[in-house]
Amino acid sequence: MANTALESSLANYVISSPKRYLFGDWSAPQTNRLLLEGSFVRQWSFTARPHENPYLPAGMKLASVTEQSTGMTYRATASAHETNNQSFFGRASVSYITGAHAFKTGFNYGWGTQDELEFTVDSPMRFRFRDGLPNQRTLEDTPFALRTNMDADHGAFVQDRWTVKRLTLTAGMRYDYFHISYPETVVGPGEFNPNRHLVFPAEQGVRWHDVTPRSGAAYDLFGTGKTALKVSINKYLGGQAATGTFGADAAPASRLTTETSRSWNDRNRNFVPDCDLLAPAANGECGAMSNLAFGTTRPGLAMDPRRADRLRQAPVQLAIHRRRPAGGAASRVGGRQLLPRVVWKLRRHR
């Protein structure tokens, strides 16, 4: 980035190794009407940033500086993170097809884990200057970990298609089960919170059960196979994973207050904060902490195991529901073949 010096850009220096995938695909026609299929993918991924700054002498832990007048950040890198992911997804299906009839049923099975470590490359303190003079410092309460298990991403479906003269009907139903949990997480001391020892017990996250329909119809208007009118009404679920609002963002350790700032009047111009940084009140050259909850927990995403559609008694920001976010879709399509390999279509979708 143009406003970031090399020694301050290690958060963008990504090391993606190892990154491994194992695939499998199987298909077995049993008769000219019966087909069995299956596939799977297994994934291992580790994404990291350097723990040592290669642009600074070994062992030197400087504070990064942002100059307000130019927006330039230089001198060191503050926070970074590394992520260890694993996942497995598999599916299998059975298809039975005749000339006017096509039936298919199957299932999918999936799970995954994500372990994310937030840490500081150099000093867990950032300086802000104005025209070369210090006016603020920001403290970070690292390291800490966010651990998320996607215990289940399963589903089963059944669908059928019938063709009677000019009319083709399709109908189907799908069941999905999605479950997130959080293993016990221990957060130890940080440079500006030396007595911290927090234990977040294992917790259950979202547990969704969804049944969604599929339906559609197509009618050959003139029986020539060139002009058709199609309608469909379906419901689709939002994609989910171990990341995001209902995943790692709701992990117990994500409730930590990990950052606070305090004003800095460097009266003696030695560019050293002459104050007790662990004391939250104003002292020496330091103003009071802007966030007095620094190093403690705050209300976050929470799940009430008794009533997922109701807020817990404890203060929360969001209630997590039994059914995942979803959207419906209805469409009408008219089409006609004008020339070989040329088709005109008119579609309305909502």
Q: Tens of pLDDT along 82-123?
A: 999 999 999 999 999 988 889 999 999 999 999 999 999 999
Rounded (5°) CA angle 88-323-299: 90
Whole-number pLDDT of residue 25:
96
**pLDDT over threshold 90, residue 59:** no
**pLDDT over threshold 90, residue 184:** yes
**pLDDT over threshold 80, residue 19:** yes
What average pLDDT does range 11-20 have in this prediction? 87
Whole-number pLDDT of residue 13:
87
Whole-number pLDDT of residue 240:
84
Residue 236 phi, psi (nearest 5): -125, 140
**pLDDT over threshold 90, residue 31:** yes
- Dihedral of alpha carbons 250, 254, 256, 258, sign: negative
Whole-number pLDDT of residue 232:
85
DSSP characters over 102-156:
EEEEEEEEEEEEEEEEEEESS-SEEEEEETTEEEEEEEE---EEEEEEEEEEEEE
Mean per-residue pLDDT of the chain: 85
Whole-number pLDDT of residue 308:
40
Helix, coil or strand: residue 241: coil
d(CA 111, CA 350): 33
**pLDDT over threshold 60, residue 301:** no
DSSP percent split of the chain into helix, strand, coil, nearest 5: 5, 55, 40
CA distances from 278 to 139, 164, 240, 282 (A): 10, 78, 40, 11
- Dihedral of alpha carbons 28, 29, 34, 35, sign: positive
Radius of gyration over alpha carbons of the chain, in Å? 28
State pTM to two decimals.
0.81
d(CA 180, CA 148): 7
Whole-number pLDDT of residue 304:
53
Q: In this structure, which amino acid lies at residue 183? A: P
Residue reference for tokens 């996250």 = 205
What average pLDDT does range 217-221 have in this prediction? 87
**pLDDT over threshold 70, residue 258:** yes
Residue 66 phi, psi (nearest 5): -115, 125
238 vs 76 pLDDT, higher one: 76
pLDDT confidence band for 133 (50 / 70 / 90): very high
Whole-number pLDDT of residue 110:
97
Token reading at 40: 């799977």
Whole-number pLDDT of residue 348:
55
Per residue in 303-341, pLDDT (tens digit) is 554 434 332 223 333 333 345 555 555 554 545 454 555
Flag the least confident range among 20-24, 133-137, 307-311: 307-311
d(CA 249, CA 242): 9
Q: Which residues make beta-bridge pairs with 209?
A: 177
**pLDDT over threshold 80, residue 34:** yes
Beta-sheet strands, E only, within 185-325: 185-187, 198-200, 203-220, 227-237, 259-263, 301-302, 318-319
**pLDDT over threshold 60, residue 275:** yes
Token reading at 204: 């259950």
* Cis peptide preceding 143, ω within 30 of 0: yes
Helix, coil or strand: residue 201: coil
